[in-house]
Amino acid sequence: MKSRAVAILGMHRCGTSMAARVVNLLGAYLGQEEDLMGPASDNEAGFWERWDLMEFHDKVLQSMGRTWDDPSPTPDWGALPQARSLERELAAKIKDVFSGQALWAFKDPRACLLLPLWKNALSALNIGLQTLIIVRNPMEAIGSLARRNGYSREKCCALWDLHYRQVLDHLGETPHVIVLLEELCKAPAVQIEKLASALEIGVDEKTIENAARSIRPDLIHNHSKGKYRLPAQMEETYGRLRKKALSLK
């Protein structure tokens, strides 16, 4: 059976959990209930994220001398001496937990920083990869992250920009679709139908309606854009993402 993976990518506090649940309801396997992080005070509808992959990503980042909230540039993956062994370890994990699944997905914002690792591991297994990139208005995102983690706005801006630039820089020829969180919340069924088509997932109207009901704008608490001026590089990154995003038209 030919297997296909969907990577749900995006910065923390940007709707990756909501996007993961949508893809799950469209038919992609995420894991068993015990494999996934449950709801929490900062994510009431659940994270839809595998514990084992989050822990593996943290281990990989630690081997690179960093953590997910380090805003410094990431090193060249191909130049790391541990790259090949980590790719083999990830490939073994994929075979263990996703074997037999025709369509599966994973979500962890840390994966934005590790896209070359995933591309190489999946290629070695002859598994196709598509990416869903979910983008929240950066003013809302940095406000939410600053409130949750106590980081400065400057650090939040640097982290937001690093995560999305890493994705854009390493996509290459990987098929991808970009969804704006505000558009998804504005017209869930319309956006989900377009998303399913872009990901080549054949679903009926009832499935789309069911997935649309999972969209909970009421759980997005930080709507204040504020008057903070974004750094020029961050504005440029946001512009690149918006230009390629699914449109409601």
pLDDT, position 37: 83
Lowest mean pLDDT among 8-12, 112-116, 143-147, 235-239: 143-147
Residue 47's pLDDT band, with cuts at 50, 70 and 90, is confident
Cα 202 from Cα 197, distance rounded (Å) = 7
* Residue 7, CA atoms < 13 Å, CB-side half-sphere: 29
What is the pLDDT of the chain when averaged over all its residues? 92
Task: Give the DSSP letter of residue 179.
Answer: E
Q: Is it the case that residue 38 has pLDDT exceeding 70?
A: yes
For the chain, list the domains and their CATH numbers.
4-243 (3.40.50.300)
Q: Is it the case that residue 44 has pLDDT exceeding 80?
A: no
pLDDT, position 246: 83
Q: Is it the case that residue 121 has pLDDT exceeding 90?
A: yes
Q: Is it the case that residue 46 has pLDDT exceeding 70?
A: no
CA–CA distance from 74 to each of 45, 115, 116, 207 (Å)?
A: 31, 12, 12, 39
Amino acid code (one letter) for 210: N
